[in-house]
Amino acid sequence: MKVGRDVTLSGSATDGEEAPTALKQGVIMLRKLVILMSIAACSLITTGFNSSALAQTTEQISLGNARACTTRCEATLNYCTGKKGRYGEASITNVLKDCITACKTASEFSARGSQYAKEAFATASKACIECAKTCESFKDDDKMLATANECRKTAGNMQKVATSGNPK
């Protein structure tokens, strides 16, 4: 395939001269664009143009939050037990443990369709709120404040599921 009069897409000129650098770069960019468009087209074909397949329910979002909150609180618990002073006090570590346990329990109840799932979500929401309040008391500690933010986000979605109709 030729571009212009004397330069082919392979980047070589028919008269033995090098193709201009700008043209080579343009050809490379065009090839990349074609590849990206092909990937996008394949994605649309495989999903059947159905974006609703990617939508999550509030419960699914809440369960993802619970996993993230559990992970964050476990890391924070390890962080606190490794520090001295107020961080290692039972009043701090027990709140983190309660949040971890409540989030795991809500996830497990939901996974098996337990009749107690809504209650577990409500309890987890309360535990997350208490954990957030406790962690926020460490105003100069970014790790504790990040945990508080994760707990608040999780609590909000857990409460939505707890107060909705049937969580499953």
The whole-number pLDDT of residue 62 equals 86
How is the chain split into domains, by residue range?
2-47, 56-163
The whole-number pLDDT of residue 39 equals 80
The whole-number pLDDT of residue 30 equals 79
Instruction: Give the contacts of 100 (CB within 8 A, at least 6 positions apart).
Output: 70, 73, 74, 77
CATH of 56-163, one of 3.20.20.70, 3.40.47.10, 1.20.1270.360, 3.10.620.30: 1.20.1270.360
The ranges of the chain with pLDDT < 70 are 1-19, 41-54, 165-168
Q: Mean pLDDT across the chain, nearest whole number?
A: 83
The whole-number pLDDT of residue 125 equals 96
The whole-number pLDDT of residue 100 equals 98
The whole-number pLDDT of residue 164 equals 86
The whole-number pLDDT of residue 167 equals 44
pTM of the model: 0.66
Cα 96–98–100 angle (5° rounding)? 70
The whole-number pLDDT of residue 104 equals 96
Q: Do 14 and 8 meet the contact criterion of CB atoms below 8 Å apart?
A: yes
